[in-house]
Amino acid sequence: MRQAFAETVGAALDDDPRTALVLAVISGDMFRRSAARHPGRVIDVGIREQAMIGVAGGLALAGMRPVVHSYAPFLVERPFEQVKLDLGHQDVGAVLVGIGGSYDASTAGRTHHAPGDVALLDTLPGWTVHVPGHHEEARDLLRAAIARDDRVYVRLSATGNRTSMPASPRLTVLRTGSARSAGVVVAVGPMLDRVLDATAGLDVTVAYASTVRPFDRDGLSRLVGAAGSADVLVVEPYLRGTSAHEVAEALADRRHRQLGLGVGRDEELRSYGTPADHDRAHGLDTEGLAKAARDFFLV
């Protein structure tokens, strides 16, 4: 996905003079050619993440479309007040593109992990959040985001699904349960393959989201209405329960149960290893998801 990002932004810099890229060193080598071709529009501020977001806000005030990129903890968490004030409060847009996600940089330890990025942006109004599950989705979502003017966070992952889904702001249904089904499962971005595997033997509806903000509340309400039970399981690659308030809003008019699965909130996991090791520790591997789904749907 990182390569798709570099290619998409490189092409946008060539095609649209409004496009600017703001970096704080990270991934700078992927844009060397773009920087040579468009020296005023590829701006590497050095290791200065507050200035990175502030500069992006200023570029937007001057009529540019800034794309801002770093590891998620340095893009969203470190300069969070700049994200809040220099973009949101100024009422200007930018495309923030994060890598590293929850623990793609598993061997780097907690300093380079950001499972709270989407929950943090959820405290701010007006953000669109894309969580592509495949590099082709990343390309399509980025291309569309650069063409708009709003505030967009694109959360790239080092892992993805086997096949690409169409980029849609709506929930995409991949498997429809029977009229007596146990409920609905929503898989976000790179969680899709393992959710499909983990729920293969269950009578449930499985839907996919690569855009989580705005959340497709109407779509979820319809799917739950058609299911046998108003039970909803959401599987997200970041903090568990991040979208719980969206599910609650979507289903406010009916009695329902919900469970959110994702990265654990209860402790700081001080481990290295691989992302798969971390998935296992958080119950986000296929086996962990299958067990949690069976328990939740009471089968």
Partner 1 sequence: MSTRAVLSRYADLPTLIGLMEGDEKHSAAAHTTLDVLWVLYDRVLAVSPETAEDPARDRFLLSKGHGPAAYYAVLAAKGFLDVPTLRTWAAFDSPLGHHPDRVLVPGVEIGSGSLGHGLPLALGTALGLRARDVRRADGAEPRVVVLVGDGELDEGSNHEAIAAAGRLGADNLTVVAVDNRSARHGWPGGIAARFAVEGWETREADGRDQDALHDALTRPHPRGPLAVVARVRVGT
Q: Which stretch binds partner 1 (CB under 8 A): 1-9, 29-37, 59-67, 238-246?
A: 59-67
CA dihedral 160, 161, 164, 166 (to 10 degrees): -90
Judged by CB under 8 A, the chain residues 24 through 43 that form the site for partner 1 are 40-41, 43
User: Cα(72)–Cα(9) distance, rounded to whole angstroms?
Assistant: 18
Cβ 93 to partner 1 shortest distance, Å: 13
In angstroms, give the least distance from the CB of 234 to partner 1: 34
66 lies in the binding site for partner 1 (CB under 8 A):
yes
Which range touches partner 1 (CB under 8 A), out of 50-58, 143-151, 167-175, 183-191? 50-58
**Strand ranges for the chain from DSSP E:** 19-23, 42-44, 65-71, 94-99, 127-130, 151-155, 172-175, 184-188, 205-209, 211-213, 231-239, 257-263
Residues 245-270: b if buried by 16+ CB within 10 A, e if exposed: ebbeebbeeeebebbbbbbbeeeebe
Least Å distance between CB 9 and partner 1? 15
Q: Does 46 bind partner 1 (CB under 8 A)?
A: yes
**Does residue 14 interact with partner 1 by CB under 8 A?**
no
Among 89, 148, 254, 291, binds partner 1 (CB under 8 A): 89
Per-residue tokens: 115: 């499972």
Nearer to partner 1 by Cβ, of 23 and 187: the residue is 23
The separation between CA 204 and the C-alpha centre of its own chain, rounded to angstroms, equals 24
- Binding site residues, partner 1, CB under 8 A: 17, 20, 22, 40-41, 43, 45-46, 48, 50-51, 53-64, 66, 81-82, 85-86, 89-91
